[in-house]
Structure 1
């Protein structure tokens, strides 16, 4: 098995999926209901296809599992960036707030989104048969873990917060980001992620063909998430990758 095909598939899903959501959330608000309705239909279908993939330990099953989870994640991203599923607090951080009160207000700003993601992960865990393909569950777990890590790093402080990606209705969230030097948690989270990535690459190289396809997909996704973390440390013109989605 070549690693190029699954790695390229993961890259295209990441690039196009991110761009599609950035484009949709920048349409007029009147379109949001239609976008969410369409994605909700796809969400329902993705649960069905994910269930099929969990019982299909083939190479095609790995691709099906990965694509299904990307659709699931797109639904959550759209729901969050449209403000439909964010948190009970929908205003900027109070001036001068620090420490525990800042953490509480930050949590309130994204609470519903975090609970929805945790519930979704739990549902996939419940759907997962004891013996079968774990690509769908592991893909969602990687996305969830790295998103949670990114949010904590934005809270603790990074040089580049990426607030330019926020749509107008969520610009208040930028007040919860801390622009500053990298924290110890940044190095810890990136270091652990790289160690896991090395383990995935090793499994992909030493596993059988079917198993390796899933490991390559996961390794590619985790590698992209690590790159997104590193972007928070260095100024990079990443928005050029999605210039078609951010006019």
Structure 2
């Protein structure tokens, strides 16, 4: 009996331990991945050489060695994929309305290079041991390949337990290809095929006359039994993930970010505001500085010096103050997933195009692949006081939607209008959204404490109007005005040109008669 129990326990332990070890390595900081990959590649080469050496031997020891070599050769496939070295041409999630064969095609693209690497590795192992009596390593690799392919298809078609906690952050886009449902039509076939193969292998092991054959057939039979067990773990209400809790200890909780969307028409002062906001985020002590990612339509709009772009990617630039700027892409959802996975930011600042649908942009931040990483969301809408009343008469629906979605309304360029017109703008905006905070400003200058009060969690930013109306309006609302000098272009050093301290101006309904002959280019 020990001829079967010992190989069975050995296979069980190696499968359990190697799985947990890979999960643990995947959770380490990304700079360690290259060393893990280097180690895995070295192990793979050793395994191929080892398989060649033991392929002609039919001893019990050779059976153990061949099984171990086959299993650890498979480990390279797992490490190269989950660490992001060998994945596929698609590194973005699928749109929610993508279904059917198109969705399946996108899923294939996420791991195409990985699947081709498996085929290449299998060819190497088969050719290296071709015609030799010890094929245990080959069959171990093939069984693991079967387990892998069958499990992937089942989680794509739908199972109860997706075990998403095993996915590293940089592969979060794969969640859009996982489907949760009690079971799928492929599952019974996967179980049946694995059961038939496992039964045949155990039967062969029972009839084997040599220690080599008994150990080898037991190894393959146990691996098929584990394949069946893994599949049942996908659909049964069992806490199977606890088997590898020790491997998950290296996985730090996902860093949640605060999102800020800056909206408004062209000319409302978004450029000036974005420059000031970047300067504000950078002018803090290094030890308390947040990692900020800024998504903008054009680097020049936030005053990034052209010299900073030399030697760096065309769509990403790291500023001296620690902020990371990226040019907005058409597929914002994919870009956000990539940014969150790559940079793990504390804050994401997005420049919203004046013609884009603000509700759709907010919806992107609520997608399953992004929402778990979003701690809060604030929508800051810039209003051009000098143009608002005319624009509102022509596009009332647009401004109504923006006002209702806003967390903060900044009425900018108040020095270009009379006090009466300024009051009318504020009253109109307050009627559109009684709960929103309104700040009046000049040159887009707003103090930092305003943002602490504005940032808030947003469960459903596109909720119906009646749901918003159910929230009681505050009894006291404060409208403040801030004035500052024109914003400077972002300097090379954040300490080189600090943001001028804004001065609160008394909000009195007096005549607005100061000289307008000065240059207002900095308002834009």
TM superposition score normalised by structure 2: 0.46
Within 5 Å, give how 1:134-213 maps onto structure 2.
134-208=135-209, 209-213=211-215
- Contact 2:48/2:128 (<8 A) preserved: no
Could you tell me how far apart the structure 2 residues matched to 1:224 and 1:118 are?
Answer: 22
- Detail structure 1 runs of 4+ shifted over 6 Å in the superposition: none
Could you tell me how far apart the structure 2 residues matched to 1:123 and 1:38 are?
Answer: 19
Could you tell me how far apart the structure 1 residues matched to 2:158 and 2:243 are?
Answer: 25
- Contact 1:88/1:111 (<8 A) preserved: yes
For 1:125, the equivalent position in structure 2 comes to: 126
- 1 or 2 for the larger relative contact order (CA 8 Å, sep ≥6)? 1
- Contact 1:55/1:129 (<8 A) preserved: no
Richer in helix (by share): 1
Matched residues, number:
247
Give CA deviations for 1:67-87 in whole Å, capped at 9, x if unaligned.
Answer: 111211111111111111111
1:32 aligns with 2:33: yes
Aligned-residue offset at 1:181? 3.1
Q: Once superposed, what is the RMSD of the aligned Cα atoms?
A: 1.1
Three-state SS of the structure 2 residue aligned to 1:223 is helix
- Contact 1:157/1:177 (<8 A) preserved: yes
Three-state SS of the structure 1 residue aligned to 2:95 is coil
Richer in strand (by share): 2
For 2:79, the equivalent position in structure 1 comes to: 78
Aligned-residue offset at 1:128? 2.2
Could you tell me how far apart the structure 2 residues matched to 1:76 and 1:105 are?
Answer: 20
Give CA deviations for 1:119-177 in whole Å, capped at 9, x if unaligned.
Answer: 11122221223241110111111010121111111111111112121111111111101
Aligned-residue offset at 1:56? 1.1
Give CA deviations for 1:91-120 in whole Å, capped at 9, x if unaligned.
Answer: 111221001110110000111111111111
For 2:217, the equivalent position in structure 1 comes to: 215
Could you tell me how far apart the structure 1 residues matched to 2:91 and 2:237 are?
Answer: 28
For 1:112, the equivalent position in structure 2 comes to: 113
Aligned-residue offset at 1:235? 2.4
Three-state SS of the structure 2 residue aligned to 1:245 is helix
For 2:69, the equivalent position in structure 1 comes to: 68
Give CA deviations for 1:24-82 in whole Å, capped at 9, x if unaligned.
Answer: 11000010111111121111111111111211111111110111112111111111111
For 1:94, the equivalent position in structure 2 comes to: 95
Identify unmatched segments of 5+ residues in structure 1: none
Could you tell me how far apart the structure 2 residues matched to 1:244 and 1:52 are?
Answer: 35
Three-state SS of the structure 1 residue aligned to 2:94 is coil
Larger Rg over CA atoms: 2
Judge which range, 39-48 or 235-244, deviates more: 235-244
For 2:230, the equivalent position in structure 1 comes to: 228
Could you tell me how far apart the structure 2 residues matched to 1:235 and 1:118 are?
Answer: 34
For 1:244, the equivalent position in structure 2 comes to: 246
For 2:7, the equivalent position in structure 1 comes to: 6
